[in-house]
Amino acid sequence: MSRQGRTHWPFGGALLKTRTHGVVTRLFSGSLMAVRKPKIVVTRRLPEPVETRMRELFDVELNAEDRPMTAEELGEAVSRADVLVPTVTDRIDARVLSRAGPDLRLIANFGAGVDNIDVATANARGITVTNTPGVLTEDTADMTMALILATARRVVEGANVVQAGEFRGWSPTWMMGRRIWGKRLGIIGMGRIGQAVARRARAFGLSVHYHNRKPAPAAVVDELQATYWESLDQMLARTDVISVNCPHTPATFHLLSARRLKLLQPHAIVVNTARGEVIDESALANMVARGEIAGAGLDVYENEPAINPKLMKLPNVVLLPHMGSATVEARIDMGEKVIVNIKTFMDGHRPPDRVIPSML
């Protein structure tokens, strides 16, 4: 029994599972031992098929109200859970983890990014962290391309005019945007999503440039005809559209600083579907307002959900509510990955999407 008086759930993958009258049991060395279902605490409402499957497999606490948990509530959750399933907006920092009970062994994040979790502290406490990479790649790349088009071609501005009843007919010089065909796209972060964005950009006639910690594999470069820039500064000065597709880490905080934003050409646009902290949001707002940058398309924000008020007033900025992966298919796939990570861990194996500090 644990200090909380609960039976620990076993981690031995080689044990034979059976089920008798609805009670999960295990056979071990010829003896029958009852095993409780692991206690799973889910911090936000998930798609119905995911929650239903979790109910079938686990002893799960769901958040029917879909109200974000406070830091105090997150602390209470880790004190009683075997597995915590947070989302990218839940900050699982050292203070929250200090309240973790002895049975908390896994944090199965519902999301690809893990900058909301203090992974080093979790690992030091013997708590494994997993995420859900891969399944939201195509949807996020679609949204990136949508923001590029919407910003360059003033789609939202035009839609607002029509909806306000102010459209008075076609004019040769009205609502002129910028062509993207034949322009240079600079991708910051050539991982799964960056590569998916590059494939779409090629179809729209953009040439692909990228900055990454290291060059992409030769096969990827050949497919995308991509130009690698070791110097981010040099790439920024030569491209027409910038797409931020890198994770938020200490090394990428304000990677697009005020100094670097000033390197952009006045006709350039900036699109971010990664993490808001990568851009100095205040500097971006000021430069767009002054006409030093042509526009921006943002799905994420530095102090999310708060948005810089200056950005809200700019007609040449397209603002979305962090919906890059918001498709039915992606969210169900993310939930399925969470379940696989939990079940694999329960069975005593390394979960397929384990995150370790050296990866960040």
Catalytic residues: 275, 304, 322
Q: Residue 95: count other Cβ atoms within 10 Å of its Cβ.
A: 13
The continuous run of DSSP H or E covering 184 comes out as strand 184-188
| Cis, bond preceding 305 (omega within 30 deg of 0) | yes
Amino acid 87 reads T
279 vs 272: CA distance, rounded Å: 8
Query: Which pair of tokens denotes residue 170?
Result: 């076609």
Are 280 and 261 spatial neighbours (Cβ–Cβ below 8 Å)? yes
Cβ neighbours of residue 224 closer than 8 Å, sequence gap 6 or more? 195, 198, 199, 202, 208, 216
- What is the dihedral angle through the alpha carbons of 199, 204, 208, 210, rounded to the nearest 10 degrees? -70
Among candidate residues 49, 39, 42, 82, the one with its CA nearest the CA of residue 65: 42
Torsion of CA 157, 267, 307, 89, to 10 degrees: 110
Residue listed under structure tokens 């896994």: 106
Question: What angle is formed at CA 274 by the lines to CA 357 and CA 242, rounded to 5 degrees?
Answer: 125
Contacts 24+ apart (CB under 8 A), 233-236: 233/260, 233/263, 235/186, 235/209, 235/210, 235/211, 236/186, 236/260, 236/263, 236/264
